[in-house]
Structure formats: C-alpha cells, structure tokens
Amino acid sequence: MKIKEVHLKQYFTGAPSLEYFDIVSRDLPSPGEGEVRVQNLWLSVDPYMRPRMAGLKTYIDPFEIGKAMEGGAVGIIESSNHPKFKVGDHVLSMLGWREGYVSDGKGLTPVDTRLLPVETYLGLAGLTGFTAYVGLTRILDLKDGETIWISAGAGAVGCAAIQMAKAMGAHVIASAGGAEKCALLKELGCDGVIDYKAEDNLTAAVKREAPGGIDAYFENVGGAHLEAALNTLKPLGRIAACGMISRYNDDRAQPGPSNIINVVTKSLRMQGFIVTQHMDLQPRFIEALSTWMMKGQIKNHQTIYEGIERAPEAFMGLFSGSNTGKMVVKV
C-alpha cells in the first residue's frame, strides 16, 4: 500500500514556507503479528508545532529531519492483527502528517464516533478544547460575572474558550483580525468584539469594550496584545499564557512589553501552561464539555483543507490567520 507523508527538510527561523517541507511517497507494509495498519482520516496542524520546526528543545523535542512529522490525527483501522483493535475502529494518535501507518497499538486511543463527529477529537474534545478549559479554570480561575479578554478569538483555542467562558457566566471580550472573523465572534456570543486590524490603539479598544477593566486575559498572541492586556487588567488580574502566535516566526528577538512593570504595580499573575501538565483535569473537562454541548452552549468550529499535500499550506495558514476555529486537514 502506497502512502504519502510530509517530512521536514530542515530547521528554520522566520516564516514557514513550502520549501521546508517534502511530500514523500512510500510503501506501507502489511501489519505484522500484534500490529495494526491505520488509514488517517483527519490531521491536526497547530501553532505549538512551530518551535519543533526550529530545532529548539522546549517542552517537546524538535521534529526529526527527513522523517514524517508528528501531530494529532484520527484514523480508521484498515487491517488488524492486534486483539484490542478491529477493522473499522477509529483511533486517535500523534502519528499525523501521513496518510497511514503501521503500529503495535502503543499511543493509539480508541474514540467513540457515536457521540461526536470523529474530527472533533482533534479540536473541541481534544487538546484544543482541553487547552481552553485548563486555561479558564486552573490557570485563570475565572469566576461567574468576571470580565475576560480572549485574544485570537477566532482561532481553535479561542473559539472554544469564548464559548466555555460564556457558559461559565463570564462577560467575554474577544479580538480577531478582519470583519469576517469578528462576525464569527459575535455569533459565538461575545459581549464585546475587537477587530485589531481596524484599531490604532488596542488599549483604547479594550477600554471601550470593558470600561471597568478586565479580570483575566487569555493570551494567544503576544506583542501589542499583551501590552494592551497589561494596561487594562485590574489589580490582581490574571494572564493565562497559552501561546504567542505573533512571535513564533520572529527570526530575531523583538522588544517585549514596555509596560511589564504593571505586573508589580497591579499584582498581576502571568502563567504559561501546557495542557499535558494538567491531565488530571481531563475527566472533569469531558464531563463539563458533554454538559455544555448537550445544552447547545458549545459548538465545534473548524476550517478544513483537503488532501495531505495541503498540510504544509494549512500549517502556514495558522500564521496568516486563514483559519476560523480549528484548522484540520482531511486526508
């Protein structure tokens, strides 16, 4: 069986470009004893993959050059010599960026497609939704009636966070770039919407939407967004630093927030987090998510690119803002 994989050709700084990726065809053998062969149906591309392409060791190792990259994927068992998996079962894995694979079953998680569409496990019910949940609950300790600003609101984590924050009773301000995305934010139920591309002064825009200041800031962007948050947070305000997508492609150091001293003068707390450090919250997350989805308070939003060849393009789209909701590739 012939499959295609996406390989990383070299580590790079600066903006991602097609030249750094190879589409490679190879033969996938039949599964051996105790193995399964899986055909991927959906692949996930996510901002956290960017540092792995720079050769930097952060909380996760860099990708290996000349091999299929890793990433979230859901697939279907196509052939099985493994007692735990049967043909037609759906499984979640970190073996994305490829049309299929042979596995001994380690790292494969069965998913129930009767409850949710299978691709949801890459988004709302997967690490994306869980990231939003951990950020709002454990990191921000968001309370009923508080005001939160969610940046990159039209992104995957943002869409999830907005709906969850509303369901938790918060007053939600969200920002995104462009009229189309801002229309989505309104649809999602935001109390205040900011098109940052149309604003000269982001601090003034946040003050306009939240005249009393904000209690919490869900940070996905960095740069001017972080500065505006530091300006508008109330004393004892909290920042959940989930990502800083505006900074991932910098090829040299950029000045940081010139008003970082607000952390001292307003006793702010700024905390970075990675969901894998908070897996103990997973059962509570699934329970909360099911309840919210059953009540219709939360819906899945995604942008779909079709074909494995378009996976690099989908990844690049994360940085040019071409997705609303979760960016996924349909294999």
Task: Please give the residue ranges that form the binding site for a second copy (CB under 8 A).
Answer: 51, 56, 58-59, 219, 222, 226, 235-236, 241-244, 247, 253-274, 277
- The least distance separating a second copy from the CB of residue 55, rounded to whole angstroms, comes to 14
User: Between residues 255 and 283, which has the closer beta carbon with respect to a second copy?
Assistant: 255
Those residues with Cβ within 8 angstroms of residue 216's Cβ, 6 or more apart along the chain or in another chain: 140, 142, 146, 147, 148, 149, 170, 233, 237, 238, 239, 240
Question: CA angle, corner 238, sides to 237 and 243, nearest 5?
Answer: 145
Q: Are 240 and 271 in contact (CB under 8 A)?
A: yes
User: Between residues 17 and 276, which has the closer beta carbon with respect to a second copy?
Assistant: 276
In terms of phi and psi (left: phi > 0; alpha: psi -120 to 50; beta: otherwise), the region of 66 is left
User: Between residues 166 and 225, which has the closer beta carbon with respect to a second copy?
Assistant: 225
User: Between residues 30 and 58, which has the closer beta carbon with respect to a second copy?
Assistant: 58
User: Between residues 43 and 270, which has the closer beta carbon with respect to a second copy?
Assistant: 270
In whole angstroms, give the CA distance from residue 144 to residue 40: 41
User: Between residues 29 and 256, which has the closer beta carbon with respect to a second copy?
Assistant: 256
- The least distance separating a second copy from the CB of residue 240, rounded to whole angstroms, comes to 10
- The least distance separating a second copy from the CB of residue 11, rounded to whole angstroms, comes to 16
In whole angstroms, give the CA distance from residue 255 to residue 252: 10
In whole angstroms, give the CA distance from residue 51 to residue 64: 13
- The least distance separating a second copy from the CB of residue 48, rounded to whole angstroms, comes to 9
Place of tokens 């099985």: 80
Q: Report strand pairing: 109-110 vs 90-93.
A: antiparallel
User: Between residues 269 and 310, which has the closer beta carbon with respect to a second copy?
Assistant: 269
- The least distance separating a second copy from the CB of residue 85, rounded to whole angstroms, comes to 34
Those residues with Cβ within 8 angstroms of residue 275's Cβ, 6 or more apart along the chain or in another chain: 127, 130, 131, 134
- The least distance separating a second copy from the CB of residue 321, rounded to whole angstroms, comes to 19
- The least distance separating a second copy from the CB of residue 5, rounded to whole angstroms, comes to 27
- Residue 140's CB is within 10 A of a number of other CB atoms, namely 25
In whole angstroms, give the CA distance from residue 144 to residue 169: 5
